[in-house]
Amino acid sequence: MDDDFLAILDCIDTPMFILEQNSDGEPVYVALNKRIRNNAKLTYPEAIGKTAAELYKGRFGVLAYNNHRECFRTGKKMQYELTVQLEDYNNHVQTTLEPMLDDQGRTYRVVGTSNPIAAEYLIREAQANTLTVNAEIEQLINLSAHDLRSPMQNIKKLTELLLEDFQDLGDGKLELIKLLEKVSDSTFALIANIINFAQASGAAESVEDFELPILCREIISMLDPNDIHTLEVCDARLSGDKIATQIVIRNLIDNAIKHNQGAAITIQIDAQQVDKHNFTILVQDNGKGMENPAALFKGETPTKIDSGYGLHGVMRLLRARGGKISATPAEKGTGVTVAFSLPGKAALPNL
């Protein structure tokens, strides 16, 4: 890359990088613009000639590296979401890979752009046109996402500041601040649950072929950026509604993590073909479990903060797609097993 081109690249505000294959066929960085270098606090010598797995520690680097290899292999445009752990915060990004092909149709270079994903990524599927969402929920989403979530988050931060180094004089002010913190936490949780509910209810249908392990690892990267939990996924290739599958698995993993209140758990995900037209996904954790898992999907609309708007939205989404969902105690040990089905095919090794 000549100096003039690199100077132009640095003028682009969007994080941008260029990959080429080295002598071993590995996708390595040959250029990263200033925006990426500043965000990741990298210098050119530190980055050039390295793969994503070498440059970024943890799950992010491995997943990015695998996607880079896949783009070179297929020669097709790719888009994926990951969470990169920077020095002082976690950054959710959506990356687009655009392959450049030679006269023989082989990929000789990949141009990548990465854009931060705001908190509103949680509700983007709800913006799609679908019969399972009505005007009232759509209006509620807009109000909660844009008018309620930001100020409630500010209130949470203010209460945290008030509690720092607060001297309790026994006049009841400390109890009032703690009450304010509790109310803001509950309200913020309600807003998040409503958003999850509409997100799951309003997703547009998208039928395609996809790899279950890749889908699940991208999800766990977003939900568990600190690598606290263990994910085990069967090597299955699915053909069906990718967006619906992604939303359901994401909600189930998120619910398992939250239900176990920070304790490290193992989440196992398997797939099987149940008949000619439908596949089933099993999501099992070894957490503390619950007394009556079947109650998760009774069918009534939740009305309380802790009732699980996201899970109810998942149930509505599956019903709209002709699928179903159920929960049972884990067959061995503790935890919960959730099984959901969707129209499509599941191809497993040696089957």
Residue 73 confidence (pLDDT): 93
Question: Residue 112 pLDDT > 60, yes or no?
Answer: yes
Residue 204 phi/psi, 5-degree rounding, is: -80, 150
Q: What CATH topology corresponds to 207-347? A: Heat Shock Protein 90 (3.30.565)
pTM across the whole model: 0.53
Percentage of the chain lying above the pLDDT 70 cut: 77
The whole-number average pLDDT for the span 192-196 is 60
How far apart are alpha carbons 305 and 189 in whole angstroms? Answer: 7
Give, in degrees to the nearest 5, the angle at Cα 280 between 274 and 285. Answer: 135
Q: Give the model confidence (pLDDT) of 151-186 as tens digits.
A: 666 777 788 888 887 888 788 888 888 877 777 776
Q: Give the model confidence (pLDDT) of 28-81 as tens digits.
A: 999 999 998 888 788 888 889 999 999 887 788 888 999 999 999 999 999 888
Query: How does DSSP classify residue 145?
Result: I
The whole-number average pLDDT for the span 15-40 is 92
Residue 117 three-state SS: coil
Neighbouring residues of 33: CB distance < 8 A, sequence distance ≥ 6? 9, 10, 12, 15, 16, 17
Cα-based distances in Å from 141 to 54, 75, 151, 181: 41, 38, 15, 23
What CATH class is the domain 3-117? Answer: alpha beta
DSSP 163-178: HTT----SSSHHHHHH
Query: Do 280 and 272 contact (CB within 8 A), yes or no?
Result: yes
Residue 80 confidence (pLDDT): 85
How far apart are alpha carbons 285 and 333 in whole angstroms? Answer: 10
When comparing pLDDT for 300 and 80, which is higher? 80
Residue 152 confidence (pLDDT): 67
How far apart are alpha carbons 244 and 206 in whole angstroms? Answer: 8
Give, in degrees to the nearest 5, the angle at Cα 57 between 30 and 245. Answer: 95
When comparing pLDDT for 113 and 180, which is higher? 113
How far apart are alpha carbons 239 and 119 in whole angstroms? Answer: 29
Residue 145 confidence (pLDDT): 55
Query: Do 85 and 57 contact (CB within 8 A), yes or no?
Result: yes
- Stated as kind and residue range, the H or E segment containing 268 is strand 266-273
Question: Residue 119 pLDDT > 50, yes or no?
Answer: no
DSSP 326-342: EEEE-SSSSSEEEEEEE
pLDDT category at 237 given cuts 50, 70, 90 is very high
Token pair 């896949």 is found at: 70
